[in-house]
Structure formats: C-alpha cells, structure tokens
Structure 1
C-alpha cells in the first residue's frame, strides 16, 4: 500500500512517499479501514521531530485522525461491518501505525460512524480536536451553563472546536486571535468577546469584560507563556486547563493564591496507556459529535487540502502558517 513514512526524526525532509508492506489480518478487536482522508495535527509534527519521545515503531507512518470505509473486522467486533463509513483518532503508538496511508488497523472502541452530513475530508478534520476540546471542557474543567470561558487561539483546530462546544453548553466565550480574518471566523462560531493578542493586553481585556472578576475557566491551547497568563485571567477557585506541557519556569504563585484547580488534557492517553474504557469513551464522544454535526449544531473548518504525496508540504504549511481550521490529506 502507499503511505507516508519516515525512518529517522527531523524536518519534513525525512518524510517519504512510497510503497510499504500491506497490513496483516485484523486483530480480534480491530477494524481494517480504507482511508479516504487523514487529518494533520501538531502532534504529527512533534512525533516526526522527536520520535524517540514516543512509543512508535520504525518505519513510522504518521497521523492520528482518519475517515474512511470499513474493509474487514475482527472476530470480536460486533458493531461495525464492511462498508460502514467511519471516523476516528488513533495515534500510531504501541505497534500501531498512523493514518497517512491507504489502509490502517484501528481499535474498534475508538471508532464511530461518520457524520452523514460531512464529507470524508471534513470528518477526518474533526476527531482529535473535538475529543480534546470535549475532554478539556466537560471532563477536566466540568463546564456548566452560564459560566464564562477564555479559549486561547480560538481559530485553531482545538480552539474552534472548543468555542462551539462551550456555546452549546450555554457558556459565554472570550477568545484570542491574531488577525481580523480569524476574528471574523470565531465571531461566526459564536464567540462573545474577541481579543487580538497582537494589539491588546489579553489579561487586561479579560478582566475589563468580566468586571474585574475573571473567567470561570481558562483553556490554554498554545503553551507556557499563555498558560502563565491564564492564572491572572481566572477567578478565584476557577479552572485552568492546558493541552501542553507546562514549563519548569512556570510561576504557580498566582494560581496558588487564587486556589485554582489546574488540569492537564492529553487525548492520546487512552492509546498511550492502553486504557480500554477510556478508548470507548472517546468513541462515544465521536458518536455524540456525529449527531451534533448532523443536526447542524457543530461545524469543522478545513483550511487547506493536500494530496497524500504532498504530506511534507502539508506539515510544513501547518508549522509555518498556523491557519484557521485544519489541514487535510485527501486520498
């Protein structure tokens, strides 16, 4: 089968396009998927750059997100059958491989039927970012109706998913962007207050908009400097959630003073740690999201689509441009 793969870590130059060994028969709880589209996420680039940090097998086929058609199922799989159109997110850890390929073996517990209203390309853009945003807001921060949420980088993959989920839950949303184009995009998603972080002091703007109280939840999707600023934006006894590794230089004194509840969100954990119940939960999140997509209550934005052979250019585009929405490989 054709795939994108690499044998050593490095820049996008290490990515190769060619024939790799065809996949073997399904395991008892696996499903063989013929990939129609694959989503590109920042984690793909991190694995390519430093594969030694992850439990991958060489040659590495990158990619977590995928959408496609079921080709065959394992003996213990009862809820999927050949011909089903599905979508999923599965990192290529612990002897698995990724989605930048014509076929992939997927744990059945991670699968959900593709939203009928979405194309394969749209469906492939959704899983990782919507699972991440769902777990961060509902499970880590325990979002409730009427709360105010600060979502950093609202035009990004996780950010644009988080805005929609927060609004569906009845929250007020403050978000940060870097341009007028992105401000228009997040306004369409329902953001209540938009801050251009290039031209305004985010903490001052948040406190002004909340009458000096701060937000109930601050969601960091960017990294250490933004995480640090979250502690000054959240109200006492509020929540801060990050999807990035905090820096050793993080100053926790403001968080401690405010008695902030701090949470880490890593949607890769179910596969990384082989947690079957957590895998099933992520599959359930995708089933619920599929219903919301089909009810026109959620949307997913594709920034640009590339051919499988152009995966190196696609990853380079993601790293250099930080686009609004998701990058997709179409097969």
Structure 2
C-alpha cells in the first residue's frame, strides 16, 4: 500500500510518501479498513516535530482519525461486515498503524458506522474533535441546560463542534474568534455572544454578558496565558476545562482557588496511550451518538481544505501556519 511515513523527528519534509507492506489482521476481532480519508490534527504536527510516544518504533505512520470501507474481517467480528463504511479515532501515536495510509487494521470495538449523511472526508475530519468536545463539556464540565459557557477558538476544529454540542445541551454560548468572518461562521452554528479577542478584552466582554458574574463553564482550547486569564471570566464555584497543560511559569492558580473553581484537564488520547480498552469502547459510543446527531441534521463538521495523501507535508505546513476555521483532511482518492 501507499502510506506517508514519518522517517525522523523534524520539519514537515520528514513525511515521505512511500510503498510499504499492507497491514494484516492479527486477531479474530480486527477489521481491515481501506481508508478513504484521514483527518489531520494538531497532535500530528506535535508528534512529527517533537517525537512520537513510541520513539523506539520509528519510522511511524501518523494520523489518529480515519474513515473508510471494511475490506476484510477477523473470524470473531460481530459488529461489521465487508463493505461497511466506518469511522474512528485509533492509532497514529507512533505505536499502532496510523491513518496516513491506504489501509489500516483496527479492533472492531474501537470503530463505528460512518454517519450516512457525511462524506468520507467529513467523517474522517470528525472523531478526535467530537470526542474531545463531548468529554470536555459533558463529562469534565458537566454542562447543564440553561448554563452559560465560554468556548475559546469557536471557529477552530474543536471549538466549532463544542459550540454545537453546548447548544444541543440547552446552554447559552459565548465564544472567542479572530475575525469578523469567523464571527459570522460561529453565529451560524448557534453562538449567542461572539467576542473578537483581537479587538477587545474577552474577560470584560464575558463579564458584561453575564452581568458581572462570570460563566458557569469555560472551555479553554488555547492554553498559555489565555488559561489564566480565563479564570477571571468564570463565576465562583464554576468550571474551567482545558485541553492543554497549564504552564506554571505563566501564572498561578491563586485566583482560581479563591473562586473555588473546579478545574479539569481533557486529553482524549488517554485511553489509547494507556490501552484502556473500556474507555476506548466508550469513546466509540460517543461517535455512535454523534453519528445519530449528524444524520438528524443537528451536528455538522466543517472541512476547511483537503489534500491528496502524498501532500501530507504540505498539509502540515498549512496547519502550522494557523488554520482558524474547521479541519484539514487527507484523501486517498
């Protein structure tokens, strides 16, 4: 098969388009998937530039998100048949096969049927951001109907999904964006209050929106100084969830403690990294629920740009240059 191989740690040119052996089904519950598309996520560029989680298993095939058609099944597979269209978040961390390839093998427990209303490209763009936003808002943040939530980077991959999931939960949503165009986009998704963080102080605007009280829940997708600034936008006894590790050199948690904030970290890769099979199964169930919402027209994914598989290095350059809206996807056709 053709695949994109990460030959070393470094710049995008370490991603090489090559012929490699086809993956084989190794256990009775695995399925062989002919990939039609693979989502590109910031974790991919970080692994390429800093090293994978399994440095002793180089070269590596990156890409956690995939969508394709089941081409073969193990002898004990029950969920799928040959010809089924599936999508999933699995592999791509430097250990198991990733999805920057024409074929991959995955245990049936970790895949789910592709939403019928989505193309393979849209489906491949979806899993990691869907699971991240779902876990952050519903599991970590315990978002309830009627609450006010602040979502940073509302036009981004995770952010634009988070807005929709928050609205589906009956919350009021404020979100930060970098431009008027992105502001119009997030309003189409249902955002109630849009803040251009380049033109104004988002904390001041949030406090105005909440009559000085602060939001019930803030979802930080940016990190760095923004994490500590966001503390000031959350009400006492509220929640702050971040997908990035707070940098202690950039601030302290004194104000968060004074406000009695409940603080949570979200890393949807934990089940894969720790081989927590039951948690991986739970994430597949999240994708099942999201597929239903998508087919009901209640949830959508924006694909900003697509690239042929051979152009993965170009896609990485585009992502690192700063894509501010939606997702990037590699296609195998």
Q: Give the 3-state SS of the residue equivalent to 1:183 in structure 2.
A: helix
Contact 1:236–1:260 (CA under 8 A) maintained in structure 2: yes
Task: List per-residue Cα deviations over 1:83-115 (Å, max 9, x = no partner).
Answer: 110000113247301100000111222211000
Deviation track 1:57-100 (CA, whole Å, cap 9, x = no partner) reads 21111101110001122233211111110000113247301100
Per the TM alignment, residue 53 of structure 1 is displaced from its structure 2 partner at its CA by: 4.6
Structure 1 segments, 4+ long, off by >6 Å, are none
Hey, what does 1:305 align to over in structure 2?
306
Contact kept? 2:64, 2:93, Cα under 8 Å = no
Alignment of 1:212-223 (within 5 A): 212-223=212-223
Deviations 1:205-247 (A, max 9, x none): 0001100000000000011211111110100110000011111
Counterpart mapping for 1:1-331 below 5 A: 1-54=1-54, 57-93=57-93, 95-249=95-249, 250-331=251-332
1:159 & 1:55 partners in 2: Cα distance?
Answer: 31
Q: Give the SS at the match of 1:285.
A: helix
Q: How far apart in 2 are the matches of 1:205 and 1:91?
A: 41
CA RMSD of aligned residues (A): 1.2
SS at match of 2:232: helix
Structure 2's unaligned 5+ residue stretches are: none
**Secondary structure in 2 aligned to 1:97?**
coil
Q: TM-score, normalised by structure 1?
A: 0.97
Q: Secondary structure at the match of 1:173?
A: strand
* Contact 1:94-1:272 within 8 A present in 2 as well: no
Asked whether the equivalents of residues 33 and 69 of structure 1 are also in contact (C-alpha less than 8 Å), the reply is yes
Name the stretch that deviates more: 266-275 or 244-253: 244-253
Contact 2:130 2:158 in 1 (8 A): yes
**Are the structure 2 counterparts of residues 294 and 115 from structure 1 closer, same or farther at C-alpha, using a change threshold of 3 Å?**
same
Segments of 5+ residues of structure 1 without an aligned counterpart are: none
Q: Distance in 1 between matches of 2:110 and 2:226?
A: 31
Looking at structure 1, the residues matched to 197 and 276 of structure 2 have their Cα atoms a distance apart, in angstroms, of: 38
Answer yes or no: is the 8 Å Cα contact 1:7–1:59 preserved in 2: yes
TM-score normalised over the length of structure 2: 0.97
Q: State the distance in 2 between where 1:79 and 1:53 align.
A: 30
- SS for the counterpart of 2:58 is coil
1:139-179 superposed Cα distances (whole Å, 9 cap, x missing partner): 00111100010000000000001000000000000000001
SS at match of 1:10: coil
Quote the offset at 1:52 in angstroms. 4.8
Q: Please report how far the alpha carbon of residue 27 of structure 1 lies from its aligned counterpart in structure 2 after TM superposition.
A: 2.0
Aligned residue pairs total 331
